[in-house]
Amino acid sequence: MENKFTHIGEKNQPKMVNVGDKKITKRQATAKALMFLGSEIISHFNNEELVTKKGPVFQTAIIAGIQAVKKTSELIPMCHPLLINGVDIDIDILDKEHIEILCTVSIEGKTGVEMEALTGANIAALTVYDMCKSISQKMVIKEVKLLEKSGGKSDIKNG
């Protein structure tokens, strides 16, 4: 069987695939994390008080996610270091129990940024968890996936 795992070498050992011959193009990827927080936690973001907890929780998560995007090649062993052009993380309250995190990453480089987008969405989700865990630990990250990527050999749209 042909080896389609680009990060695995002839001796079946991990290797960082050589992207030296790939072209530098503008690339972008968006990942999504759907997260169950439960009604008690969400109530602290929506309540009638002047000052809700939404601000510090979401901003801490956004900042942590942006910083994680820049750390992706340190966290995922075979990822190439990249010069990120921009990161945008958006967190929305979907309903009385769930939030959705979207992370979009842009570069001009030789490899896609799907791992960067996924890492940013994930660490933002974990940071929301950390900020809210004194209320409840029933939280669940329910879905993390790549929504779309563009600019590489083939575009992907996972709707």
Contacts to a copy of itself from residues 118-147, by CB under 8 A: 118-119, 122-123, 125-127, 129-135, 137-146
Three-class SS of residue 140? strand
Query: Which is the catalytic residue, given 88, 90, 92, 130?
Result: 130
Is residue 130 among the annotated active site residues?
A: yes
Q: Does 155 bind a copy of itself (CB under 8 A)?
A: no
Cα–Cα distance, 79 to 97 (Å, whole number) = 34
Burial 119-153 (b: 16+ CB within 10 A, else e): bbbbbbbbbbbebbeeeeeebebeebebbbbbbbe
Q: Does 44 bind a copy of itself (CB under 8 A)?
A: yes
Q: Does 45 bind a copy of itself (CB under 8 A)?
A: no
Residue 95 CB, shortest distance to a copy of itself, in Å, is 18
Interface size with a copy of itself, residues (CB under 8 A): 91
Q: Does 71 bind a copy of itself (CB under 8 A)?
A: yes
Q: Does 25 bind a copy of itself (CB under 8 A)?
A: no
Which are the contacts of 48, defined by CB distance < 8 A and separation ≥ 6? none
User: CA gyration radius for the chain?
Assistant: 18
In one-letter notation, the amino acid at residue 59 is Q
Quick one: which of 39, 46, 81, 94 contacts a copy of itself (CB under 8 A)? Answer: 81
As annotated, the active-site residues are 130
